[in-house]
Amino acid sequence: MSTTSAESVRIEPQVFGNLTVPRRSGLGGLSMGVSLALVPVVLLGILFLATGRWVLAFGIVALAAVAVLLLKVTTRQGRSIYGRITLRLAQRVKEKSGRDVYLAGPTGKGTPDGATRLPGLMAKSELAEFTDSYGNPFGLIRVAGAGVYNYSVVIEAHPDGDSLVDREQVDHRVAVWGAWLTQRGLDEGIRGASVTVESAPDSGLRLTGLLEANRVEESPDYARGVTERIGQTYQGGAPQLVARVAVTFDGRRRDGKAGDRGLAEMAEEIGTRLPGLVGGLQGTGAGSVKACTAAQIIDFTRVAYDPTVASIVEEMQASGGTGLGWEDAGPSFAQDSFEHYRHDRAVSKSWTMYQGPAGNFTANSLKRVLEPSPGLLRKRVTLLYRPIPAERTTALVQQEQNDAAFAGSQTRRNARAALRQAAAAKTAAEEAQGAGLTRFGLIVTITGTSEDELKPWDKRIPGLVAPARLRVRPALANQAVTFQAGLPLGLVLPDHMLIPDTLREFF
């Protein structure tokens, strides 16, 4: 008789990495923008030396050296001393001009019709409802700006989570999600996508409604007592957790002329493509997936700006709907402070990613920050994606290889430069095999009742994202626009910036 022993095999989790930031390298480890800015200084120094004005020449060179030194040694959280001073000045100008305060409603300013529209970049947005090719309704958000005509749809999902899920299944879900993002770069007219995971305390209305709907008058006293005890004990049970995916389409005319293609044409095109977008999320672990209607978009936007009405909105939804319009979804009062954003009866603070993962990470690296946090009215974690069109990926990969080689030639035996060259070569190989390129960012927003309630989170939030090996910082002097970008409304911030990506890469 023979016996066999089974040895447990440990399955190592799949790791991901090789993330790089497109940038243009300059001389001596400086950025290309700083290197170009030093060219006039060098020319002036040579000119003064040639004319015998030695003091001026050395003075200019000394000032330039001090300026560069301050740029290198005063950088904290990705901001130099010049950047921090600029933020302070911008906030002061904003407060003096009164643009830090938003007042709407019957007693507000700038809203003669008494509406409470969304502030900022979403002030002139429009919301309409259409049906897709399968006859399902969906809300369509239109945001127009200077040469920008973006149309966004919102897809609501209820993720299954990773409990009792095999490692192979998790890796499969990650692969399907990566393929979904890659396809967005191949699709025509996709400006961006975002995934927002929002957690909030449970109001208890869902449990109460479920118990009331199944209550029978002839039920035994014991059964009635048990159900009543359940309602009293677990009324504030598990927190609500919902994920929303926003996809933004480019509405500009395709013939190269300036102008908008129009709401009707875009609704027809998006309605045809929407079932494919929703179906592509089925294998990602998103669970139940469905496009949001206009009423649903209005309701969760209203709750985001005033979380204290969440239970009222939920109760009205159960009884037929809130009846709110898009012009009612915004706050009646908002104040954009340097470190906080006050809106109606709540205060929020947002953090943005300024440095991506420096090494490898796993599929559950963001699990800690995505989990519900007790003591907050709301917490939103938003991943922003901007798929790069397929026709541009080859040029960007080649440019990164050239910049990495140039940066490596500036120093001798630099480990970081060698790693950058290796990463650029690996990216080029993967792109040649059909992989896509996607820019991404992260916004974390927490909402409470007061500033004191949010203070302990100044150190907690950076610690929650630490397992993902990325770094976040407060959105100083930009709390209002960051709060809005973290909402699942499809707002693509780079489309509204004065400086395009091609120029920002120099700095």
Condensed to tens digits (0 to 9), the pLDDT of residues 58-80 reads 888 888 888 888 888 888 888 88
**DSSP at 10:** P
For the record, the structure tokens of 57 come out as: 């020449």
Whether the pLDDT of residue 289 is over 60: the answer is: yes
SS3 150: strand
Q: What is the pLDDT of residues 15-43, one digit of tens each?
A: 887 787 777 776 666 777 777 777 888 88
When pLDDT is averaged across residues 470-487 and rounded to a whole number, the result is 96
- Lowest average pLDDT, out of 232-241, 423-432, 487-496, goes to 232-241
Write down the pLDDT at residue 78: 86
Query: Are residues 440 and 385 in contact, defined by beta-carbon separation less than 8 angstroms?
Result: yes
Q: What percent of the chain has pLDDT over 90?
A: 45
Per DSSP bridges, beta strands 333-336 and 378-387 are: unpaired
Phi then psi dihedrals of residue 309, to 5 deg: -95, 10
Among 202-206, 289-293, 296-300, the least confident range: 202-206
At 6 the pLDDT is: 39
Asked if 493 contacts 150 with a C-beta cutoff of 8 angstroms, the reply is: no
Bigger pLDDT: 69 or 452? 452
Backbone angles phi, psi at 107, to 5 degrees: -105, 10
Nearest CA among 433, 453, 423, 440 for reference residue 492: 440
Question: Is residue 236 scored above 60 in pLDDT?
Answer: no
Residues in contact with 462: Cβ distance below 8 Å, sequence separation at least 6, in sequence order: 351, 471, 472
Mean pLDDT, the chain, rounded, equals 85
Looking from the CA of 87 toward its CB, the CA atoms found within 13 Å total 15
Q: What mean pLDDT comes out for the span 81-100?
A: 93
pLDDT digit string (tens) for 157-181? 988 777 778 888 888 899 999 899 9
Determine contact, residues 281/157, Cβ cutoff 8 Å.
Answer: yes
pLDDT at 127: 97
Answer whether residue 342 shows pLDDT above 80: yes
The domain segmentation of the chain, as residue ranges, is 101-201+239-388+436-504
Q: Which residue has the tokens 């399968």?
A: 134
Question: For the chain, give me the number of helices (H) and strands (E)?
Answer: 16, 15
Taken in order 388, 394, 397, 403, the sign of the CA dihedral is negative
Taking residues 207-220, report their average pLDDT. 68
Q: Are strands 126-131 and 137-144 parallel, antiparallel or unpaired?
A: antiparallel
- pLDDT given for residue 28 in this prediction: 66
309 pLDDT more than 80: yes
> In whole angstroms, what is the distance from residue 507 CA to residue 408 CA?
18
Is the pTM value of this prediction over 0.95? Answer: no
pLDDT tens-digit series, residues 415-448 = 667 777 777 888 888 777 777 788 999 999 999 9
CA 140 – CA 460 distance, rounded (Å) = 36
